[in-house]
Amino acid sequence: MKYRRKNGSDTWHFCTNCSKWPTSDYVERDSKPTTGELDNECQAKENNGTCSKKQ
Ligand SMILES: [Zn+2]
């Protein structure tokens, strides 16, 4: 599963359908980030089962 953050931001996104999912100028990693924080919107989607993840 992929995690992305915008360059210069410390908030990680993991739902491709997040309104703030970075599509340019981002850093991507494929394991859970150890620094920064996870986006609230992504976590809300995860909790209600509407998070689309990129494998
Ligand atoms: Zn997000």
> pLDDT tens digits, residue range 4-44?
999 999 999 999 999 999 999 999 999 999 999 999 999 99
CA atoms within 13 A on the CB side of 19: 3
Q: Quick one: pLDDT at residue 52?
A: 98
How far is ligand 1, taken at its centre, from the CA of residue 20, in Å? 5
Q: Tell me whether residue 55 is in a domain.
A: no
Alpha-carbon Rg for the chain, nearest whole angstrom, is: 10
pTM: 0.94
Neighbouring residues of the ion ligand 1, judged by CB less than 5 Å: 13, 18, 20, 39, 41-42
Dist. CA 43–CA 7, nearest whole Å: 20
How far is ligand 1, taken at its centre, from the CA of residue 8, in Å? 15
Q: Quick one: pLDDT at residue 21?
A: 98
Q: Tell me whether residue 54 is in a domain.
A: no
How far is ligand 1, taken at its centre, from the CA of residue 51, in Å? 9
Pairing of strands 37-38, 26-29: unpaired
Domain count, the chain: 1
Range of the domain at 15: 3-48
Q: Tell me whether residue 53 is in a domain.
A: no
Q: Tell me whether residue 29 is in a domain.
A: yes
22: tokens are 């970075």
